Amino acid sequence: MSFMPNCQDVTKHSSDYLDRSLSRWKRLGMWFHMMMCVDCRRYVSQLQLTIATLKKHPKANPPPVSNEQVDNVVKHVCQNLKPDD
Amino acid sequence: MPAAIPATRRPELSKPPLPADAELIPKLLAGDETAYAQVVRAYHGLMIHLARAIVGEAFADEVAQEAWVAVLRALPRFERRSSLKTWILRIVSNTAKSRLRHESRSVSLDDTMSEQPIVDPARFKSNAHWASPPAMWHADTPDALLASSQLRSCIDAALRALPPMQRAVVSLRDMQGMDMETICKVLEVSESNGRVLLHRARSRIQQAIEEHETR
Ligand SMILES: [Zn+2]
């Protein structure tokens, strides 16, 4: 990728751009491109919205663990550890 | 009546605080069942979440149980180079991966190496600028998007269709908010592969939303 990325480059590096894991130079190039390109600006903001949506997705939280489940796991572990130890 | 817990260490409702690794590990090694229960309560949900991402709903509970046995067997050899939580999740990941290989021999765990483009090349002109640029979406906030049950099922279907490692990375990163360094340790992938997996996964979900939102 030269200093100024093209639109296809922007789609390739958009996660790294949003997560701030590009070098400063590449980051600046992406920023300049988006200043001038409304399509890429929209593409990247839609990616950002996708990430925010995943964060709020009902399945984003691990399932709650009941006391019964805890007891079952502990029982299972104790039964399975004994013969070997 | 227990002593008051300082505000900084106050646990979430109904979830007693988990002792620090240094305090917890010796108790686990001694076979202290109360410590077992504490650690299971703290991490079992997350383990199921990770196992689900890799191996799917049907085997997730079994994998998590199996992983606990492996964790407590291997604990005497735990070198504490990472946190107990990271180490436990790595065992879950490995247990889930071997289960997946066993259940479906042909499945490829990840497609980091695939040359498949992120966005269909037909959408670009020969100079790599957009030929068919992204259109506006109907909704412009996560809540507005998630309000549609139809779109929620599209997202679920897209998540289910991801290769397992992509699904694992995006679940841990974007749904769980875990940092990439820990995720890469847990899944035993390099940081750069982890980033590729994440971007591919996000792009496929974005594409699923786009198909729904622009029709
Ligand atoms: Zn552009």
B114 part of a folded domain: no
B202 part of a folded domain: yes
Nearest to B142 among A21, A53, A64 (CB): A53
Q: What is the mean pLDDT of residues B81-105?
A: 91
For residue B34, what are the domain limits? 21-103
- pLDDT score of B199: 96
- pLDDT score of B195: 96
- pLDDT score of A8: 95
Structure tokens that stand for A30 in this block: 């992406």
Nearest to A11 among B118, B143, B175 (CB): B118
Taking only the tens place, the pLDDT of each residue in B20-30 is 999 999 999 99
Tell me: do B93 and B164 sit in the same domain.
no
CB contact under 8 A, A42 and B155: no
Q: Which residues contact B190 (CB under 8 A, 6 or more apart)?
A: B184
Q: How many domains does chain B have?
A: 2
- Over 70: is that where the pLDDT of B113 sits? no
Closest chain B C-alpha to A3 CA, distance in angstroms: 15
User: Which residues from chain B sit within 8 angstroms of residue A47, using beta carbons?
Assistant: 202-203, 206
User: Which residues from chain A sit within 8 angstroms of residue B170, using beta carbons?
Assistant: 54
B9 part of a folded domain: no
Q: Which residues contact A6 (CB under 8 A, 6 or more apart)?
A: A33, B127, B128, B129
Tell me: do B126 and B208 sit in the same domain.
yes
Closest chain A C-alpha to B45 CA, distance in angstroms: 5
Distance in angstroms (rounded) separating the CA atoms of residues A36 and A29: 11
Please say whether the beta carbons of A7 and B128 come within 8 A.
yes
ipTM: 0.91
- pLDDT score of B2: 46
- Over 90: is that where the pLDDT of B150 sits? yes
B111 part of a folded domain: no
Tell me: do B205 and B137 sit in the same domain.
yes
pLDDT tier at A61 (50, 70, 90 boundaries)?
Answer: confident
CB contact under 8 A, A54 and B205: yes
Please say whether the beta carbons of B180 and B59 come within 8 A.
no
Q: DSSP string of B132-184?
A: SPPPPPS--SHHHHHT-HHHHHHHHHHHHHS-HHHHHHHIIIIIT---HHHHH
Taking CB atoms within 8 Å and a gap of at least 24, the contacts of B103-109 are B103/B55, B103/B59, B107/B164, B108/B163, B109/B163, B109/B164, B109/B165
Residue type, A80: N
Sort A73 into a burial class: Cβ within 10 Å, 0-12 / 13-18 / 19+. Answer: buried
- Over 80: is that where the pLDDT of B58 sits? yes
User: Which residues from chain A sit within 8 angstroms of residue B141, using beta carbons?
Assistant: 49, 52
Tell me: do B31 and B76 sit in the same domain.
yes
> Residue B184 half-sphere exposure, CB side, CA atoms within 13 Å?
13
Tell me: do B27 and B92 sit in the same domain.
yes
- pLDDT score of A85: 47
- Over 90: is that where the pLDDT of B3 sits? no
> Residue A9 half-sphere exposure, CB side, CA atoms within 13 Å?
17
Q: What is the mean pLDDT of residues A5-25?
A: 95
CB contact under 8 A, B118 and A77: no
- Over 50: is that where the pLDDT of A56 sits? yes
Taking CB atoms within 8 Å and a gap of at least 24, the contacts of B186-192 are B186/B50, B186/B86, B186/B89, B186/B90, B186/B92, B186/B93, B187/B90, B187/B93, B188/B90, B188/B93, B188/B94, B189/B110, B189/B112, B189/B165
Tell me: do B125 and B209 sit in the same domain.
yes
**Higher local confidence (pLDDT), B6 or B211:** B211
Taking only the tens place, the pLDDT of each residue in B171-197 is 999 999 999 999 999 999 999 999 999
CATH number at residue B81: 1.10.1740.10
Closest listed residue to residue A49, CA positions, set B212, B8, B14 = B212
pTM: 0.88
Please say whether the beta carbons of A33 and A4 come within 8 A.
yes
Give me chain A's average pLDDT, please: 91
User: Which residues from chain B sit within 8 angstroms of residue A60, using beta carbons?
Assistant: 174-176
Taking only the tens place, the pLDDT of each residue in B29-39 is 998 989 999 99
